Every structure is written in structure tokens, then in C-alpha cells.
Amino acid sequence: MLPAIIQQNYLSQPGKTAIILQRAGREDEALSYADLTRGAFRYTRAYQQAAIAPGDVVVLILAHGADLIFAFWGAILGGQIPSIMPFLTEKLAPERYRADLAALVSVTQPAAMVTSPEFEADVRGAIGPGSSVRAVLLTSQIPAEAEVNFQQAGGLARSPEEIVLLQHSSGTTGLQKGVALSHRAVLHQLTAYRAAIRLQPQDVLVSWLPLYHDMGLIAGFLMPILSGICLVLMSPFDWVRAPYRLFQSVSQYRGTLSWLPNFAYNFCAQKVRERDLAGVDLSSWRLITNCSEPVKAESHHAFYERFAAYGLRKSALACSYAMAENVFGVTQTPADSLPVADEIDRAAYLHERRALPPEAGLPTLTMLSSGRALTNTQLRIVDEVGNELPDRAIGEIALHSNCMLSGYYHRPDATEKALRGGWYFTGDYGYTLNGELFVAGRKKDMIIVGGKNVYPQDLEALAYEIPGIHAGRAVAFGVEDEKAGTEEAVIVAEVDTDDPREREQIAEALRRHVTQNSAITLRYAHIVSARWILKTSSGKTARAANKEKFLAETA
């Protein structure tokens, strides 16, 4: 049970540093395990005062900082079910954010929302008449002190099968699925994942990942705190403006562990200035795990080349395949050895969906292993009808473990679709070789841009909202951006006008609309004439064929 672990850390190592909170332009703030517990109980008290009961969902919309940490653990200690959601940034259209949040509230039915005065209007804007939300708690109104009393709080009385938190998947915000995880699932995951990375009490984890994403929430927040180790936590907004902060923090606090999405390897390798690395020593960094985007050997190479001179160990580079539906990790490559690289025949991979050893002289692809399944997780590669496939055949990845989701919260339809016969069907493609998993694309056409997932159908729906673009006459897909180590989203839209100025205006409107109404920034709006888009015989848009046509045209 999670509250019992917090209690144990509070009693056994109250003075040990739990979190070093970093904020650009401010002094670092160290929170001990005692500070963490005391701060959390202020929120437990606030939930009690607002009559938010154990088992009620509490949605947290807060910026990086101590309040987010306390509000989360306060809910855990009180037995409420916390769910961290992103706040409105300047990029997104406020109407869209409120509509998406309102949709989420109507499905999830939270009893309370916690936010700060700066986001209060956005949060209240998502709460309609008759809403489940009984209280909007503001950080400015939380009691300054509260008694540390584990027995009186509701958390210890929860049972292991009960839901401890919701982790909302990315994708269409309005239809986001809340992955419901039990105490037991979280603890089973942590036991297996800690063993896979050989976590030690003296490990120091450095993270800039957002806490509304599974990699940030589980690997970069729950695991260190529930394992009683030290977490150095910076804001994703600070990191993206100053990626060098990651390296300075690892050096300053002798960081040993980090998790990064693939694009971050390229981003850091390209954008960190020499002078910001003066005196930096990365020799303590023992495990840097590439996770949540397709892993690229080139990205590891660029990262290593850039930072080797500062003591980065090559053996620190690792990979993992993870998802919220398994709490977090599914596979992991071991500490102290490099992920296996598998060179395969390019044509067979693209056209036959097989990962075959290359023939001499023919073009190849290098695939990086995501590692072996955690000890508590079984993997299968299956064909369309669910038959298990042999090594080197590409199929859907299915998994079974003792740390699977309880279900999608209030979404029995979605749960039934994903969980069949005790197996979770991931929607990702991959192949196995000697027990190692190689991930090879997404079944559902999902586009991953800088760690953010978007579905082409959602981008196309946004395109149809632009005057001049008719329904059924746009296609969205991702194209690989090798320099950035991630994908770029492309929308091709047919229009009736031939006037270059009008076309440019439509392109501009399309870029702006998609950027303000989705998680990503659209750069490639390709305006074409009627009948450009290829359709299948049944009239459906063929994304792969249109992507090939686009690439051939713009090459």
C-alpha cells in the first residue's frame, strides 16, 4: 500500500532528502521525507475539510512546484484518487482547453479539482451545472499546518485492489482514457522495474519530465519517492528553454538515473552550448533510459559523441518500452551493457513486415532493442487473429503481467476492447529476437512528435474546420525528422482555388488552427489541388500511400 510506504519513509529516514526542487531563477529547494509528509498532510486535511472522501477522484491542475507534489501525496495519504492534468499554456486556444477539460470531467467525474489562482478561471470554465465537482481547492487556501496522523487519514484503510491513481493517456484530450491503476499494480511494477535497473538506496534520479505523463509520473516521481531515494526535479518548461540544466543538475547532485524521450537526445546534443558545460562531470550517470518514442541508434550516438568528453559513460545508454497500461515499464535493457542493435533488410521490413538479416549489398536498417520483458511481464507478438508469431516476424505486441491496469476509468467499452483473455493488446507493432523486443511502429497510425502523441484522424478533423478545406479532403501523417530524432506532422489538404495567395492564407490558417487546438505545432501544411489525395477502393484515405506521394513530391 502506498500510504504505508510514505509512513515508513517518514519514520525511518525523515531527514533524508526526498526531492530537490529546481526552478529557473530561484535557489534549489530541498524537501526531506519529513517535509514531504508534512506538506502532503496539509492537503489531506484540506480534502477532509471539503468532505472529499476516500475513493473520490481529485484532478490536479498545477504548475511545477511543491504544491503539485503535496497535493498528489496528500490525496494518496487520504485515500483519494489523484490525477494530474496539464494546465493551459499560451500555445493552446483557451476555448479548446476548457472544452477538452469539460469532456474529461464529465467522464472521470472528479469530486474535487485543485489548482492555483492563476489557473482558477480555466478550471472553473470546465465545470458546468450539475457537475460532479463539489470543490475547487486553491493552493492559496490550503491550511498552512496540519497534524501528521496516518491512522486518521483514509489512505491506510484502502485495499490493495482499489484504485490508487489515474494516469490519463495522451491523444485526443476530450476522449482521453484514464488508466486506472491499483495499489497492487503500482507496487508490482516498482518491484519488477527496480530489479531491472538494479536500483540502489544511494541512487539519485534527475528528471525534467512532466508528471501528467506516465514516464514522468512513474519513473520520474513515484518510483524514487516510494523507493526512498533522492529525486532532483526540474520543470519541463525550464528544461526546454535550457537543456543544459539537465547536465548541470546531474553533475551538481551526482545524478545516477534519468529517463528521456528519443528527441531529447538530439535536442541536447544540438542545443547545449560549450560554456554551459564548463566544469560539468557526468561520470556518476549510470543509467539513461530512452523511452516513450521509437528509439534510434543515431540519437544515442549523437548524445554520446557530444557528452563523452564530460565523463558520460557509453554503457549508461539504455532503452525501455513502457506504457501506462502496465503502470510503466514493459521491457528494459540492463544497466552496464549497451542495447543490442539488429541490422535488418530494409525492403523486407517495409514491404513484408519481416525483420530479416540483411543480404550483402542491399539497404539495411538498424533496430535498437528495447530489452527483455520485466520479470513480472510476459510478451507475445501476435498476428491479426491473435496467433503467436515466431522470432523476426512483425506483429502486434500483447502483454500480460501482475501490474496491469484495472481498466479505463468509467470506460468499460474501451477496457473491453483493449483487454482480451487477460492480455492487453498494445496497438504497437514489434518483433522479438532471442527474448529481446524490437518495437517497429504503431498499428493505429499514431504520430509521436517530441514525445507527444497525436492521432491523424484528430488532425484531419481540425483541418476540416478551416474554410476552404472540405471534409474527406485532407490527410495527416508523420514523417521522420532525422535531425530532430522524432516525427514531424504533415497535413496535405485539397483546395479548389489555384490562387497562390489564397492557398498561402489557407495554409497559414491551418497551421495556426492545428497548433492552437492540438498538442503539437504544425509546420507542414501542404496545399494541393483536387484529386491529389489517394483513396482506397472503399473510399478511405490511404495514409501510407499519401505519405509516400508527399515524400516523393517534396524530395
Q: Tell me the backbone φ, ψ of residue 393, rounded to 5 degrees.
A: -95, 135
Q: In angstroms, give the least distance from the CB of 368 to other proteins.
A: 23
**Residues 344, 367: contact at Cβ < 8 Å?**
yes
Distances (CA, A) of 438 to 320, 354, 391, 551: 10, 12, 10, 26
Q: In angstroms, give the least distance from the CB of 514 to other proteins.
A: 10
Give 184 or 511: the residue with its C-beta nearer to other proteins.
Answer: 511
Give 399 or 462: the residue with its C-beta nearer to other proteins.
Answer: 462
Q: Which of residues 475-534 bind other proteins (CB under 8 A)?
A: 512, 515-516, 521, 523-524
Of 45-53, 162-170, 238-246, 251-259: span binding other proteins (CB under 8 A): 238-246
Is 552 buried (19+), middle (13-18) or exposed (0-12) by CB count in 10 A? exposed
Q: In angstroms, give the least distance from the CB of 241 to other proteins.
A: 4
Q: Is the dihedral of CA 316, 320, 323, 329 positive or negative?
A: negative
Contact between 415 and other proteins per CB under 8 A: no
Q: In angstroms, give the least distance from the CB of 413 to other proteins.
A: 34
Task: Tell me how crowded residue 310 is: count the other CB atoms within 10 A of its CB.
Answer: 18
Contact between 238 and other proteins per CB under 8 A: yes
Q: Tell me the backbone φ, ψ of residue 261, rounded to 5 degrees.
A: -75, 155
Give 411 or 503: the residue with its C-beta nearer to other proteins.
Answer: 503
Give 119 or 429: the residue with its C-beta nearer to other proteins.
Answer: 119
Give 198 or 523: the residue with its C-beta nearer to other proteins.
Answer: 523
How many residues sit close enough to other proteins to count as binding (CB under 8 A)?
Answer: 22
**Residues 154, 53: contact at Cβ < 8 Å?**
yes
Residue 124, C-alpha cell as written in the block: 472553473
Distance between CA atoms of 474 and 456, rounded to whole angstroms?
10
One of 224, 261, 395, 450 touching other proteins (CB under 8 A)? 450
Give 18 or 209: the residue with its C-beta nearer to other proteins.
Answer: 209
One of 224, 243, 371, 395 touching other proteins (CB under 8 A)? 243
- Give the x/- contact pattern for other proteins in 22-51, rule: CB under 8 A: --xx--------------------------
Give 391 or 465: the residue with its C-beta nearer to other proteins.
Answer: 465
Distance between CA atoms of 365 and 342, rounded to whole angstroms?
8
Contact between 86 and other proteins per CB under 8 A: no
Q: In angstroms, give the least distance from the CB of 266 to other proteins.
A: 11
Give 329 or 450: the residue with its C-beta nearer to other proteins.
Answer: 450
Is 19 buried (19+), middle (13-18) or exposed (0-12) by CB count in 10 A? buried
**Residues 442, 429: contact at Cβ < 8 Å?**
yes
Residues 6+ apart with CB under 8 A from 274: none
Q: What is the CA radius of gyration of the chain?
A: 24
Distance between CA atoms of 125 and 103, rounded to whole angstroms?
12
Q: In angstroms, give the least distance from the CB of 517 to other proteins.
A: 10
Give 191 or 521: the residue with its C-beta nearer to other proteins.
Answer: 521
Give 257 or 264: the residue with its C-beta nearer to other proteins.
Answer: 264
One of 124, 134, 241, 444 touching other proteins (CB under 8 A)? 241
Contact between 429 and other proteins per CB under 8 A: no
Of 87-95, 252-260, 377-385, 412-420: span binding other proteins (CB under 8 A): 87-95
Of 4-12, 239-247, 285-293, 385-393: span binding other proteins (CB under 8 A): 239-247
DSSP state string for 201-224: TT-EEEE---TTSHIIIIIIIIHH
Residues 6+ apart with CB under 8 A from 417: none
Spatial CA neighbour of 246 closest among 209, 287, 274, 215: 209
Q: What beta strand segments (E) does 286-385 contain?
A: 287-290, 317-322, 329-332, 341-345, 364-368, 372-373, 377-382
One of 90, 145, 413, 498 touching other proteins (CB under 8 A)? 90
Contact between 91 and other proteins per CB under 8 A: yes
Give 188 or 503: the residue with its C-beta nearer to other proteins.
Answer: 503
**Residues 489, 449: contact at Cβ < 8 Å?**
yes
Q: Is the dihedral of CA 528, 531, 536, 541 positive or negative?
A: positive
Contact between 242 and other proteins per CB under 8 A: yes
Q: Which of residues 260-279 bind other proteins (CB under 8 A)?
A: 267, 271, 273
Binding site for other proteins (CB under 8 A): 24-25, 90-92, 237-238, 240-243, 245, 267, 271, 273, 450, 512, 515-516, 521, 523-524
